[in-house]
Amino acid sequence: MHSGTTTIQDPKNPEHVKTFTFDLAYWSHSGFQMDKDGVFISADPNSKFASQSDVFHDLGRAVLDSAWQGYNATLLAYGQTGSGKSYSMMGSGANKGLVPRVCEELFQATETQERNQEHQTPLKGTLSVIEADVFGVNTNKVTFSMLEIYNEQVRDLLSRTKKPGGLKVREDQQLGFYVEGLTSVPCENYVQIERLMEQGTKIRTTASTSMNASSSRSHMVITIQFKQSAPPLLPRAPTAPPSTEPRLPAASPSTPATCCLNPSLPAEQSAHSRAEHGLRTDQLTWAHQLEQAREEWRQHYVAIAQERQMMKTVPHLLNVNEDPQLTGVLKHFLQADFRPLGLLSYQLLQSEALLTIPAPQPPTPNPLGTRALGAVCRDRIILGSNSAYLYVGFPWERGGEDLSRFDYDFFQLERAAAEGVSVDQLGAGDRGEGKADPSVLVVFQDYVKLMPLVAEANQMSEELKKPTGPQGPQTNIPSQIVLQGGLSGYLGGFYVTKKPLGTRDPITRKLIRDFITPELKMELKVKNLASSDSRGCDLQKEVMVKVTNQRTHEVWIWSKAKFINRKFLMEELYQRFLDGEDSHVVQEDDPFWDPVQVVHLGSAHIWLQPLAYCMKFEEQAEFLNCDGLEEAVLHIHITPCSPAGRACGEEDVVIDPLELLGKRMDFQIRIVRCLGAKWLKEDAERGIQMGYRIYNLPYTLYTKPVWKIMNPQIEESVQFTALNASQEFLNYLQTNALIVDLWGLQEGCTELSCSQLDLLVTDEGHIMVDTKKISTVIDIGQTASAQMSELYLKLLRLEQETGMLRSINRALSEENVLLKESLEKTGSGQRAHQPSSTLKITGMTAPSPAARELDQACTQRASYDREFAKALKGFYQSMNVARGKFLKLRCHKPPEDDQMLRPFVHQQSQMLKDFGELLESSLWKLKNDVALIVKKKRECLLHSE
Ligand SMILES: Nc1ncnc2c1ncn2[C@@H]1O[C@H](COP(=O)(O)OP(=O)(O)OP(=O)(O)O)[C@@H](O)[C@H]1O
């Protein structure tokens, strides 16, 4: 960043650079230090670090100046979640943001102006006298309001009573847009505004906690109405009384500078209801309201002082929220005897819910006979999926530790660890240098972030679907219940209730959750993209959500983005349900529903090296699912053959794949059967299909769908032809695997099919592969002249490459001929020139005994080569098995149950042992085979010499 210019470079593509120019741009990533008050300041005079005060200087001042001139001014922060909107607007700790700074400065300026008015300014003095008569205080009026928009509903953050459906936004011809019935509080100084913001934040936090609302989807609007007294000589429009509604600049010199409270504080009424009143009534009302507010303020200050005192001495719970601005905002003090704790206003723990934290000394006998929980300072309590608290114990337990490290991320990681999720477990955690693979870290972060969201989605689904258990939703709730274990609770909290509960009661809802099987189950999965890479490269992984309808067995796979979108829709629906509104939706609008689709179950890798040696191979490959576990077993045959489809024999095996270069290659892929598919075991009504794509085929070829058969015999063959095998194709065969995907079919889904129309086929009807050159020619016929030259160039380059390959080939065969000739010469002593270049031709000439011997030797040598190829084939096959074992090993997860750890470790070491042995034995076998062949070959050569 250089002043207003920001340059962005694509890390993967360094030449991709984009430059953007802004009016103002700030750097705050580096070059700063903290002063003694905790304020971030520039580390040195050359640092480009922009502090909160720099931002205020550039932006806040301008807003204030406009306000003083009578204009409406708005500060709007817009951007991606986590980009620093709240930080810039509100600030964090000592680093105050724009809103507090604007307010502070506003009051400072007001006070200065008033002092000046009292002492000197005659014109303004006149006005201040008149108004001072009425108010007895300053002449400027400031009111404050704070609202939140969440799920398109407006909520008053200065009122504890939530209006179902939210407040209404209205438009007035004169006043423009305004929120009807929004609380607006008169303020006389900055401290009051600070308190109002604190209170508003509390209400916002409580709402976010009880609704499981994510702050990243909520928008906050703070409005400060600033009404100056104008000199009487200046013409001005009749003034409406102070209210929250934004004004048009011409109507009144009042300023809602965009930047929440206690219902007990006096709220202003709508401007409409009093618009017709005169100036004096307005002023009297204002004076009255102000007076009332001052009473209220006094009480408020006492309460705050009490709270501060209690924080020092009394154990309490502090909330921890995803939004750092909302963390530590709620404090729940624990009663003196720590039993019962009935103070949690959190929805799930209403007054009848008791969470017991016994006093540590002496341990009080628990009246319910349940075990003492023994909470220790800094214990974490997680209630539900969105409500996290830090337990701050007795003063003597606290020590001097900075509690700010227990932030949302800390809770998330701890929770992940408790559920056994770690970077290592997600795979490739350590790349050897002690550093985790960044892509795995990203997946881990996604996973950890999504975990509570998935848990919430599950809870909402369970409640909304009104599950029909054995006794339906009207389950008879016993009048006294002790639920052990709490909602999750590292403290192992429990809930006690002594009176019958209604079905909308949180505890009843928990009971329903616990005792009646929910319909939908959402689970987080990590998809390993390596399974769709034909080289098995460890590509990135991605998080997805598997949704299962446990009743119908329908399965859906949702991407992260889809899940997040659905989650917001679920929240909307859930809110309607909580508000007592009709939460029934038609199927198409149901966020929990989707049309059924085929589901990707797993992939099998079949390495294609043998084909490059013209060797037939039969494989039993495992379909591995996203957890790396066996989903089914595939039987597949890949057979090189003649154009007529006759399978090649051992005599056709080549020693060097280059021998196939430029030649016609035909082969058959035969999917024989699929064994033991878990998908079919789970539900007999289901079906499967398999699909694969070889080399650069533009389409995936699918087998026919098979339904309701456990181990279906597929027996589908497709013949492929490479008319002119290219180097690239041969390289592909040597280094890549054919990926066969297994797809799960479920009732009502659309089966997979492939339009083979665009596939190139030979006269025999074989599908053509390795058709680059052919398709380029075809393309040329079809493309516009502008693209022609480019294509011709490509074609030319291809021709050149092919030419080069041909000459390499020629050189190689010539060398071969020379070698053979020199061999013959040594063997027979004949000087005659033999033009023959192949064994067959040699065989056709009248052979001398020595030549016969040589012929024999050569035939023998060819058979050694075949043996060598065979040995290689065996090795490749065992390597395939080893690869499968390795994948399985990598995905083998430790059990959650400690007791199972020993058998797990035993099994793991057995698997490792097997794996090691397999590797050893295959290598040993290959070495032995090769040594034997080399020995035989040497003997043969010696003999022929
Ligand atoms: N300029 C800055 N200097 C230091 N820390 C910052 C700065 N900007 C943002 N942060 C920190 O980055 C984190 C995310 O910022 P913040 O919560 O303001 O983002 P946001 O845009 O409001 O996010 P959301 O949309 O999710 O509410 C916070 O911990 C905040 O303290």
Bridge partners (DSSP) listed for residue 738: 606
Is residue 558 located within the same domain as residue 436?
Answer: yes
The pLDDT, as a whole number, for residue 848 is 54
Which range of residues forms the domain containing residue 346? 313-414
Average pLDDT over residues 107-127: 55
pLDDT digits 0-9 by tens, 343-377: 332 333 332 233 444 333 333 433 333 333 445 56
The pLDDT, as a whole number, for residue 382 is 65
The span from the CA of 39 to the CA of 505, in Å, is: 46
Residue 3: band (very low, low, confident or very high) from pLDDT cuts 50, 70, 90: confident
The pLDDT, as a whole number, for residue 274 is 41
Q: Domain boundary at 414, 433, 457, which?
A: 414
Q: Is residue 675 part of a domain?
A: yes
- Could you check whether the bond before residue 253 is cis, i.e. omega within 30 degrees of 0? no
Q: Is residue 18 part of a domain?
A: no
Is residue 194 located within the same domain as residue 214?
Answer: yes
- CB of 31 closer than 6 A to ligand 1? no
Q: Is residue 807 part of a domain?
A: yes
Please check if 85 is assigned to a binding site.
Answer: yes
The pLDDT, as a whole number, for residue 938 is 72
Average pLDDT, the chain: 72
- CB of 404 closer than 6 A to ligand 1? no
Helix (H, G, I), strand (E, B) or coil at 361: coil
Please check if 746 is assigned to a binding site.
Answer: no
- CB of 84 closer than 6 A to ligand 1? yes
Q: Is residue 492 part of a domain?
A: no
**Would you give the DSSP letter of residue 532?**
G
Q: Kindly give the residue spans of alpha helices, DSSP state H, lying in 829-848.
A: 839-844
What is the identity of the amino acid at 868?
Answer: F
Average pLDDT over residues 675-693: 93
Mean pLDDT check: name the lowest of 86-95, 141-150, 715-724, 809-818.
809-818
Q: How many domains does the structure of the chain reveal?
A: 6
- CB of 97 closer than 6 A to ligand 1? no
Expressed in angstroms and rounded, the spacing between residue 84 Cα and the centre of ligand 1 is: 3
- Nearest Cα residue to atom 2 of ligand 1: 28
- CB of 28 closer than 6 A to ligand 1? yes
The pLDDT, as a whole number, for residue 183 is 92
Cα–Cα distances in Å, from 169 out to 176, 315, 402, 653, 784?
A: 10, 42, 43, 80, 56
Average pLDDT over residues 317-330: 83
Is residue 202 located within the same domain as residue 269?
Answer: yes
Residue 255 or residue 332, greater confidence: 332
Is residue 650 located within the same domain as residue 521?
Answer: no
pLDDT digits 0-9 by tens, 856-879: 665 666 677 677 777 777 777 777
pLDDT at 198 over 60: yes
Q: Which residues contact 687 (CB under 8 A, 6 or more apart)?
A: 680, 705, 706, 707, 708, 709, 744, 745, 746
- Nearest Cα residue to atom 23 of ligand 1: 82
Expressed in angstroms and rounded, the spacing between residue 324 Cα and the centre of ligand 1 is: 8
Average pLDDT over residues 660-668: 93
Q: Is residue 16 part of a domain?
A: no
Handedness of CA 62, 67, 71, 74 (dihedral sign): positive
Is residue 604 located within the same domain as residue 734?
Answer: yes
Contact 467, 519 (CB under 8 A): yes
Expressed in angstroms and rounded, the spacing between residue 325 Cα and the centre of ligand 1 is: 9
Q: Domain boundary at 779, 808, 835, which?
A: 835
Strands (E), 241-361: 254-258, 316-320, 331-333
The span from the CA of 245 to the CA of 172, in Å, is: 10
The pLDDT, as a whole number, for residue 365 is 38
pLDDT at 15 over 60: yes
Is residue 218 located within the same domain as residue 126?
Answer: yes
The pLDDT, as a whole number, for residue 286 is 73
Expressed in angstroms and rounded, the spacing between residue 85 Cα and the centre of ligand 1 is: 6
Q: Which atom of ligand 1 lies nearest, measured to the CA of 322?
A: 26
pLDDT digits 0-9 by tens, 166-176: 899 999 888 78
Residue 843: band (very low, low, confident or very high) from pLDDT cuts 50, 70, 90: very low
Q: Which atom of ligand 1 lies nearest, measured to the CA of 52?
A: 1
Please check if 81 is assigned to a binding site.
Answer: yes
The span from the CA of 203 to the CA of 55, in Å, is: 28
Q: Is residue 15 part of a domain?
A: no
The pLDDT, as a whole number, for residue 272 is 41
- Nearest Cα residue to atom 29 of ligand 1: 324
Please check if 492 is assigned to a binding site.
Answer: no
Expressed in angstroms and rounded, the spacing between residue 83 Cα and the centre of ligand 1 is: 6
Q: Which residues contact 445 (CB under 8 A, 6 or more apart)?
A: none
pLDDT at 582 over 80: no
The span from the CA of 501 to the CA of 929, in Å, is: 78
Residue 83 or residue 680, greater confidence: 680
SS3 annotation, 319-349:
EECCCHHHCCCCEEECCCCCCCECCCCCHHH
The pLDDT, as a whole number, for residue 845 is 38
Is residue 443 located within the same domain as residue 295?
Answer: no
Is residue 324 located within the same domain as residue 252?
Answer: no
Comparing CA positions, the residue from 111, 212, 198 lying closest to residue 457 is 212
Please check if 691 is assigned to a binding site.
Answer: no
Q: Is residue 528 part of a domain?
A: yes
The pLDDT, as a whole number, for residue 462 is 78
Pocket test for ligand 1, best of 87, 407, 412 (most atoms within 8 A of CB): 87
Cα–Cα distances in Å, from 30 out to 47, 325, 780?
A: 8, 22, 55
Contact 343, 332 (CB under 8 A): yes
Average pLDDT over residues 340-345: 34
pLDDT digits 0-9 by tens, 758-789: 678 888 889 999 887 554 444 444 444 444 44
Tokens 């066969």 sit on residue: 740
The span from the CA of 738 to the CA of 691, in Å, is: 10
Q: Is residue 17 part of a domain?
A: no
Is residue 324 located within the same domain as residue 285?
Answer: no
Tokens 């009843």 sit on residue: 508
Q: Between the CA atoms of 923, 927, 929 and 935, what dihedral angle is there, to the nearest 10 degrees?
A: 180
Which phi and psi angles does 409 have, rounded to 5°? -60, -40
The pLDDT, as a whole number, for residue 788 is 45
Residue 191 or residue 387, greater confidence: 191
Is residue 735 located within the same domain as residue 864?
Answer: no
Is residue 134 located within the same domain as residue 195?
Answer: yes
Expressed in angstroms and rounded, the spacing between residue 78 Cα and the centre of ligand 1 is: 12
pLDDT digits 0-9 by tens, 738-761: 999 999 999 888 899 876 666 788
Q: Domain boundary at 286, 309, 332, which?
A: 309
Cα–Cα distances in Å, from 291 out to 118, 196, 294?
A: 22, 17, 5
pLDDT digits 0-9 by tens, 174-194: 878 889 999 988 888 888 888
pLDDT at 833 over 70: no
The pLDDT, as a whole number, for residue 804 is 60
Is residue 402 located within the same domain as residue 371?
Answer: yes
